[in-house]
Amino acid sequence: MDSAGMGDKTPLGIQRAVEIARDAINREGKSHVMLAGSLSTHPPEIPIGTAGGTYPWPPEDEIRAAYDEAALTLAKAGVDVLFLEMMKEPEKSFHAISAARDSGLPVFLGLSTRILPDNQIELFGNSHEGVPFTTEVLEKWLDAGGDSIVGVNVMHTNFSATGPTLDVVRKVWKGPLGAYPDHGHFKMPVWQFEEVDIPEAIDMVDSWIDKYDVKLVGGCCGLKDNFITALKNRLRIRGLSPY
């Protein structure tokens, strides 16, 4: 919003977005549906034709102030929970986690990773230098969030990387676990969609539920309504709630 010259309207934009979402929930009579607000670690600008940003971040105090503003505005606007999504910048993530913790809302910690050619897992980050995703990294984030963290999600992560990442998470986190993968890749300014084998993808989600006791499932970038519909139907067959 600052880069568009409308930084002073950020709280209003957040509040209006929450109002629209809440209105949609009420119109559909879905009072049981939780309304989540989201904070993410994302570079200020991404060059056209690339997947990551190379521009410098704002000063640390500005970053924290921005997260505080967003988290508190979301809380005041009436969201039920905060989703920390794409926690992929090791240091910047602490600002988002701390702001979410201080909001007083329950928090889900969202991780984004990728698998390297040598089968190592790294955070799907914004810089050119990869950061390995380890139990130590996760433990530090969980410690920073404290009792506010009620769940961990593996999200915006390719199907092939989701299972191995869940495996790492389960070594540390024994609470509620979610998984909503992506498919395809990002090339500024738009997501590059790729065909997905729906039956194979749904079987993979099944395996995460069985092996890791995943409680929350869905889809992120690159997955369309046909995947969500197939996933909903599979959950119903299994006797699980699709909402």
Residue whose entry in the numeric block shows the structure tokens 């995460």 = 208
The whole-number pLDDT of residue 51 equals 59
Q: What's the whole-model pTM score?
A: 0.92
Beta partners for residue 186, in sequence order: 191
Give the chain's mean pLDDT. 91
Residue whose entry in the numeric block shows the structure tokens 């996933």 = 231
Of 4-13, 172-181, 184-193, 204-213, the one with minimum mean pLDDT is 184-193
DSSP E strands: which ranges in the chain?
36-40, 81-85, 107-111, 113-115, 121-123, 131-132, 149-158, 177-182, 185-187, 190-192, 216-217
**Domains, the chain, ordered by start:** 7-237 (3.20.20.330)
Q: Does the pLDDT at position 53 exceed 60?
A: no
Q: Does the pLDDT at position 67 exceed 70?
A: yes
The whole-number pLDDT of residue 127 equals 55
**Ramachandran class of 129: left when φ > 0, alpha when ψ lies in -120 to 50, beta otherwise:** beta
pLDDT digits (tens, 9 = 90+) for 134-151: 999 999 999 999 999 999
Q: Does the pLDDT at position 94 exceed 60?
A: yes
> Cβ distance 52 to 127 under 8 Å?
yes
d(CA 151, CA 174): 9
